Amino acid sequence: MTNDKKERGLYELYAEDPERADYLVFGRRANPNRRGFLKGAGLGAMGAMLGMAIPFHRNFPSGLIPAAMAEETELGLFAGKDGLTLLNDRPVNAETPPHLLDDAVTPTSRHFVRNNGVVPEIAYTKDVSDWKLTIDGEVNNVLQFTLDELKSKFKPVTLKLQVECGGNGRAAFNPPAKGNQWTVGAIGNSEWTGVRYKDLLEAAGVKPSAIYTAHYSMDGHLSGDPNKLPISRGVPISKAMDPHSIIAYAMNGEDLPALHGFPVRTICPGWPGSTSQKWLQRIQLRDVVHDGPKMTGSSYRVPKFPVAPGTHVENEDYKIIESMPVKSLITTPQTNQTIKTRTLKVHGHAWAGDNVVKRMDISYDFGVTWIQADLKAPPNPYSWQEWYAEVTFPTKGYYEIWARATDDKGNMQPFAVNWNPKGYLNNSMHRIAVMVDA
């Protein structure tokens, strides 16, 4: 007799039937009005699990997994990185736990890694004697530059710029979306030095026919086939000409590390990290939207209209992701901390793709009331913005801090986002758990 009982994770259990999940996990039945307030034995069971009472339990939505249970607390180790969680080793993909992203400028050791292929040998040897960056296609003059020529012939620029994977937050989608199961740590805001993308294009002379760029890099395809490219993406000419889009050769004051694209990479801030392509060797200007690997089908695209979870979407119904949505992150305190005081200082970052964050709010009673945080201006466009707040808890017990950013176009972080087949653009509010024992 075979045992075909299926093991289910917490997210899957809640996705299939949140009311039954409440009963199975906490021993409580949901209210007929589907709010599923914590009551009686269920409240006791959940409180016992968390180790203390939940003062605002009546506000807790049915089917919501407590933040204390929703994040992995065991960190993986990854050589050369400070506490990153390794999601995949072929290709290398690793994310940063939120509390390790507390710095205004993300240290290289704490910047997430997203690769599509094999890191090229040149990134490790640093031998650039045979390397040149080519600019061709719809240009008046085909140009090639050595690394020294890039540094000497063009004005250098140093900017603090956000780079975020388009799939950041994918782990929270249900039904699950294929791909690396990023939680919230596929974001970094390092200081990048290089030359303006537009300066290179203007030197080459952009023909009126050019509408899109195409990036070609030196990383190898996982199959080992030298004729295959793991990724080749690009951006509209208008994004390449933005003065904050750069061809970077340094990260936090040092040559680009191997994992971050030596000798040069594009940084197209505020757009999916895939447009900030590493190990660059050629920029081609095209008279059509680029159709390289990871530019067609459903890659880095979302449906043109909302779809129900699990819906199949035809390729013609997708649109290319451009500006990333408004988002925020709580970096202090670390989730699941027990504090011995009723007052807590909270810190984090917020960003909004091509836009600017104009307001930041936090809640400690499951979203019933909100406290406006002190939001700082960015040091330059496309840098994330720091925010600070202070919370005074009314009693001891279990609390969740929820973070919600609003940008200058009025876009506000939602509690939950529309599902999409590839699990992109999850900008739902970040939550952490806090146990107050005072």
**Is residue 3 in a domain?**
no
Judge residue 369's burial from the number of C-beta atoms within 10 Å of its C-beta, 0-12 exposed, 13-18 middle, 19 or more buried: exposed
Decide: 159 and 382 in contact? Cβ < 8 Å.
Answer: yes
Same domain, 197 and 59: no
- Look at 48 and 311; give whichever has higher pLDDT: 311
Same domain, 136 and 23: no
Same domain, 51 and 26: yes
Domain that holds residue 34: 10-65
Same domain, 22 and 104: no
Q: How far is 342 from 175, CA to CA, in rounded Å?
A: 38
Residues 122-134 have pLDDT tens digits of: 999 999 999 999 9
The whole-number average pLDDT for the span 302-315 is 96
- Mean pLDDT lowest among 26-30, 263-267, 297-301, 314-318: 26-30
Same domain, 136 and 281: yes
**Is residue 194 in a domain?**
yes
What pTM does this model have? 0.86
Same domain, 60 and 134: no
Same domain, 171 and 233: yes
Same domain, 47 and 134: no
What backbone phi and psi angles, to 5 degrees, belong to 24? -70, -40
Decide: 399 and 433 in contact? Cβ < 8 Å.
Answer: yes
Q: What is the pLDDT of residue 13?
A: 54
Residues 246-258 have pLDDT tens digits of: 999 999 999 999 9
Q: Quick one: which H or E segment has residue 207?
A: none
CATH of the domain at 417: 3.90.420.10
Nearest to 47 by CA among 431, 432, 399: 399
The whole-number average pLDDT for the span 180-189 is 97
The whole-number average pLDDT for the span 235-249 is 98
Answer whether residue 3 shows pLDDT above 50.
no
**Is residue 71 in a domain?**
no
Answer whether residue 45 shows pLDDT above 70.
no
Looking only at the bridges linking them, the beta strands covering 133-137 and 280-286 are parallel
**Is residue 15 in a domain?**
yes
Same domain, 201 and 274: yes
Q: How far is 278 from 92, CA to CA, in rounded Å?
A: 13
Q: Tokens 């027990």 appear where?
A: 338
**Is residue 252 in a domain?**
yes
- Mean pLDDT lowest among 41-55, 114-128, 296-310, 362-376: 41-55
Q: What angle do CA 325, 9, 166 make, to 5 degrees?
A: 20
Same domain, 61 and 82: no
Q: Into how many domains does the chain fold?
A: 2
Nearest to 75 by CA among 91, 47, 50, 96: 96
**Is residue 70 in a domain?**
no
Same domain, 227 and 297: yes
**Is residue 1 in a domain?**
no
**Is residue 2 in a domain?**
no
What backbone phi and psi angles, to 5 degrees, belong to 264? -140, 160
Which of 65, 89, 108 lies at the terminal end of a domain, its last residue?
Answer: 65
Answer whether residue 211 shows pLDDT above 50.
yes
Same domain, 194 and 299: yes
Q: How far is 207 from 205, CA to CA, in rounded Å?
A: 6
